[in-house]
């Protein structure tokens, strides 16, 4: 390319160039036999004969790879094959780059969630007599680091002649299900609510994914929930309650149910 052509390309070419528009719309390479500078609306390019406009596509069009030949007027089969191979190599590189970026974002998100849960679990070991005043704020902080969901704290309330109930003491976020909210407000049976019983009895955190959410026998009331985490609240080395987090299923998960 001449210095003038290089400067023109660096300055930017309009997107309404007919061949560019066609490549962007179809996401397929455009092979032009006999480049026409006037028709394509790009000055100072009439020295080219065969031209290829190859869109580089990942999840969307990331750029355009162009090649113009000064010799000949038509693309030969061998040269077309070479251009397609080069274009596929560029596309593969872009896809790999996007995959690596997405993986890095997912890892960062997972790390943020893990740190939030670890901080939350550490806090549960350090609460003193002012625990209830801190729990609400703790729930807010934890939930802010997570995908959409809700968080609660429970305490076990002994009942006469029975195992008692789990009573909610603090809540951040909507449960998105009125029946579930009423059931929780009324108190969850201690014996059947295993998701809360396990951390209360063992002093260990309990995690579940959405494929195992039949633990608490709530029927369809919790069918919109995804993963859950339940952490013991320890005061003076004694379990005093449970902090619980529930994440909503993503739309793609709901579509499968």
pLDDT per residue as tens digits for the range 64-78:
777 777 777 778 888
Determine the 3-state secondary structure of 112 from DSSP: helix
Q: Which two tokens stand for residue 78?
A: 């061998």
Distance CA 121, CA 141 (A): 12
Give residue 254's pLDDT: 45
Question: Sheet containing 165-172: which strands, arranged edge to edge?
Answer: 188-189, 165-172, 149-157, 238-248, 225-235, 206-208
Q: How far apart are CA 234 and CA 203, in angstroms?
A: 8
Name all domains of the chain by residue range, CATH numbers in brackets.
Answer: 3-96 (3.30.450.40), 127-255 (3.30.450.40)
Residue 239 or 125, more confident = 239
Q: Specify which of 42-56, 94-108, 131-145, 182-196 reaches the highest per-range mean pLDDT.
A: 182-196
Does the pLDDT value for residue 34 go beyond 60? yes
| Residues 113-133 pLDDT 10s | 666 665 555 555 444 445 555
CA distances from 140 to 116, 120, 144, 145 (A): 11, 11, 6, 9
In the sheet that holds 30-32, the strands lie side by side as: 30-32, 51-57, 61-68
In the predicted structure, residue 190 carries a pLDDT above the cut 60: yes
How far apart (Å, rounded) are the C-alpha atoms in residues 192 and 212?
A: 15
Of 18-32, 66-80, 208-222, give the lowest mean pLDDT range. 208-222
Question: Is residue 248 pLDDT above 60, yes or no?
Answer: yes
Residues composing the chain: 257
> Has residue 87 got a pLDDT over 80?
no
Can you give the pLDDT at residue 221?
73
């Amino acid at each position: 390319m001449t210095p003038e052509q290089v400067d023109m390309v660096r300055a930017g070419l309009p997107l309404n160039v007919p061949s560019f528009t066609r490549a962007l719309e179809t996401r397929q390479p455009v092979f032009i036999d006999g480049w026409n500078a006037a028709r394509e609306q790009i000055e100072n390019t009439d020295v080219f004969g065969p031209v290829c406009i190859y869109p580089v596509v990942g999840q969307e069009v990331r750029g355009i790879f162009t090649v113009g030949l000064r010799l000949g007027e038509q693309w030969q089969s061998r040269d077309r094959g070479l251009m397609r191979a080069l274009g596929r190599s560029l596309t593969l590189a872009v896809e790999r780059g996007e995959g690596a970026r997405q993986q890095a974002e997912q890892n960062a998100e997972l790390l943020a969630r893990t740190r939030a849960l670890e901080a939350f679990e550490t806090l549960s070991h350090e609460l003193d007599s002012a625990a209830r005043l801190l729990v609400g704020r703790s729930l807010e902080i934890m939930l802010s680091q997570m995908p959409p969901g809700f968080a609660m704290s429970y305490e076990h309330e002994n009942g006469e002649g029975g195992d008692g109930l789990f009573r909610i003491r603090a809540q951040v976020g909507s449960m998105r299900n009125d029946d579930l909210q009423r059931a929780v407000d009324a108190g969850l049976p201690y014996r059947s609510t295993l998701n809360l019983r396990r951390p209360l009895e063992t002093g260990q955190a309990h995690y579940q994914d959405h494929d195992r959410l039949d633990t608490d026998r709530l029927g369809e009331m919790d069918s919109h929930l995804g993963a859950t985490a339940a952490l013991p609240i320890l005061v003076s080395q004694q379990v005093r309650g449970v902090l619980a987090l529930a994440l909503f299923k993503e739309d793609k998960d709901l579509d499968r149910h």
